Each structure stands twice: as C-alpha cells, then as structure tokens.
Amino acid sequence: GRESCLVGLIGSGVGPSLSPALHQREADRHGLRYLYRTIDIDLLGLGPDGVGELVRAAARLGFDGLNITHPCKQTVIGHLDGLSEDAALLGAVNTVVFGEDGRAIGHNTDGSGFARSFARGLPDAPTGEIVLLGAGGAGAAVAHALLTVGADRLTLADTDPARAAGLAGTLTTRFGAARVRTVQGGGLPAAVEVADGLVHATPTGMAAHPGLPLPAGLLRPGLWVAEVVYRPLVTPLLTAARAAGCRTLDGGGMAVFQAADAFRLFTGREPDAERMLTDLTDL
Ligand code: NAD
C-alpha cells in the first residue's frame, strides 16, 4: 500500500458529495494521509468532454486516482490507457487509477458495489424474475451484476424505450436472450405482478425528481424492492414499499461498497466497509 494518497472526484455538481468524507474517514482509521478533492466541471465551465484535460492534469500533478461521476463516466473512456473487464463490459468508468508507469486505467465499481450491498442487505432474496426500472448508467451496472450473481430473468423498463432496448442488446450478447426482456409503460404492471423483486435505478425520488417511479398500487408483500438512489437515503419509493409490506434495500449500501472498492484500488489496502456504512449514516 501507499503511504499517502491524493485522489479526486470529477463530475457535475459534485460539491455536496459524501465521497470525500467516506474515503477520508476510512483512511484516517488506516493511519493513511489521504486527500480527496471534488473537481466540479460546472464550476470550471467544462462539458462532459472536459474530463480528458482534467485526467491529464491530475496525472501530471501526481494524483493516485480519480472517481468519475455523471456526466463523465462514458466520455472519460477515450482519455484512458486501459480498462478493467467490468468497465469495458459496462462502457462506463467510475474509478481511474494512475499507475507508477503513468498509465491511467479505468475501472467500474458500481456493479460490484451493488452486488455486495444486495448480498448483505437482502440475503436469500429470490432472484427468479426481477424488474429493473431505469436503463441508464446505474441500471446497466445493476443489470450486469444481477445476471452475474445468478438472477434467472431481468425485465427492463425505461421511459426512454431506446435506452431499455440498448441495454437489453448488450445483456443479451453476454447472458443470452432468454434472460432479458423489455417492457414499455403499459406492460409494467403485469411484469411487476409476476416478479420476485424490483430494482429502482432512475433519479426519481431525488430532490430534483420528486415522486414515485411507478404506481404505489403495484407494491405488495412478497415483492422485495431495492433502491439505487441514496440521496435521500429513504426515498418515497422505499416509504411506499415498506408501507406495502415489502422487504427493502436502500441505495446507501451500493454507494458505500462502490467507494470501498475504489478505496482498495487507490490504496492497495483493505477497507472496512461495515465501518464505512456506519459513517454514511452519521454523515
Ligand atoms: P441516468 O440518467 O444514466 O439513467 C436514468 C434512466 O432512468 C434514464 O435512462 C431515464 O430515461 C430513466 N428514467 C427516468 N425516469 C424514469 C421512470 N419514471 N421510469 C422509468 N425510467 C425512467 O442516471 P444514472 O447515472 O443511472 O443514475 C440514476 C440514479 O442512480 C441517480 O439517482 C444516481 O444518483 C443513482 N446512483 C446511485 C449509485 C449508488 O452508488 N447508490 C451509483 C450510481 C448512481
């Protein structure tokens, strides 16, 4: 492991991110000097492609790594020297590690983060039929993770049918056509009715996107509900699902485990994700 670590988070509106505190608190417990800075492309007047110049600058300034978030997870790829298998499969990078040789390698810890949170928070939840709402960046990471850990079949729904179809195509190539299908709005109730679980991966429930992503009447006991949104930690969907008697999982676990996986990549040290989960609740 390293003696000190300098990392950053590049994205839009990253100022209020909890990532600096999560990483630095864990580093403190390792006795590691660790600086985690937010680098906001909006404040710098840059668009999503501006991530390239920032990655090059960070490498030259001696950064050990970067986290990458919306809207740069795809645009960063063209500026890297290599990709992990997960990042290549997802076509998205949330973690960049600068090697001693100066090479910048992109990783994706969103899928592994969700998988660990799911295993921890909903152990032995049935995974025969799962409905996934939202086929964007988080949805893609969740979909690959669920099919990798053995979900039988995934039904994708997105208000933008092209996004659902695009993700279904990628998943079909990797996992086979029998395990993936898409539904449009009208087909959603029937799909939820026969599902074991529902994963929510749209921004609905965040301050800027209030409300529920589907009619509350579709929630019933026996359906588990996993949330990807983690600000707020308790979304209207989780409140409605708990009221309907569903087992639920909030998005905080995914946020913490993806951070823990990035911390390991940056430092070479093993993070204590349980302690980091406690930090998240305190923050
Ligand atoms: P994105 O914009 O890439 O994708 C969101 C998708 O949801 C889009 O395809 C959009 O068309 C679709 N959508 C919007 N409203 C919908 C609705 N009512 N029904 C169906 N589809 C709908 O966004 P993203 O990067 O995937 O992020 C989604 C959410 O996940 C955000 O709230 C983000 O903060 C959260 N997130 C959490 C973690 C975590 O670690 N917990 C990680 C990544 C993202």
How many angstroms separate the most distant Cα atoms in the chain?
A: 56
**What is the number of helices (H) and of strands (E) in the chain?**
10, 12
pTM, two decimals, is: 0.96
Active site residue 73: yes
In a structure prediction context, what are the per-residue pLDDT tens digits for the chain, which is 283 residues long? 578 999 999 999 999 999 999 999 999 999 999 999 999 999 999 999 999 999 999 999 999 999 999 999 999 999 999 999 999 999 999 999 999 988 999 999 999 999 999 999 999 999 999 999 999 999 999 999 999 999 999 999 999 999 999 999 999 999 999 999 999 989 999 999 999 999 999 999 999 999 999 999 999 999 999 999 999 999 999 999 999 999 999 999 999 999 999 999 999 999 999 999 999 999 8
What CATH topology corresponds to 4-108+255-282? Answer: Rossmann fold (3.40.50)
> Measuring CA to CA, how many Å separate 228 from each of 144, 162, 169, 199, 250?
14, 21, 22, 7, 7
How far, in Å, from the CA of 204 to the mean position of ligand 1?
8
How far is it, in rounded angstroms, from Cα 103 to Cα 265?
A: 14
Q: Are 147 and 175 in contact (CB under 8 A)?
A: yes
A 10 A CB-CB count for 215 gives 11
SS3 label, residue 40: strand
Looking at ligand 1, which atom is closest to the CA of residue 140?
26
Classify domain 126-246 by CATH number.
3.40.50.720
How far is it, in rounded angstroms, from Cα 132 to Cα 224?
A: 12
Which residue's CA is the closest to the ligand 1 atom numbered 39?
255
Give pLDDT, residue 194: 97
Which residue's CA is the closest to the ligand 1 atom numbered 2?
136
Looking at ligand 1, which atom is closest to the CA of residue 214?
18
Which residue's CA is the closest to the ligand 1 atom numbered 14?
202
**Domain extents for the chain?**
4-108+255-282, 126-246
Which residue's CA is the closest to the ligand 1 atom numbered 40?
255
- Ligand 1 pocket: which of 228, 230, 276 to mutate (most atoms within 8 A of CB): 228
CA-closest candidate to residue 263, choices 64, 74, 12, 90: 64
Summarize pLDDT for 202-228 with one digit per residue, the tens.
999 999 999 999 999 999 999 999 999
Mean pLDDT in the chain?
A: 97
Summarize pLDDT for 128-170 with one digit per residue, the tens.
999 999 999 999 999 999 999 999 999 999 999 999 999 999 9
Of 23, 73, 79, 116, the active-site residue reads: 73
> Measuring CA to CA, how many Å separate 260 from each of 2, 131, 213, 271?
16, 27, 29, 6
Give pLDDT, residue 1: 59
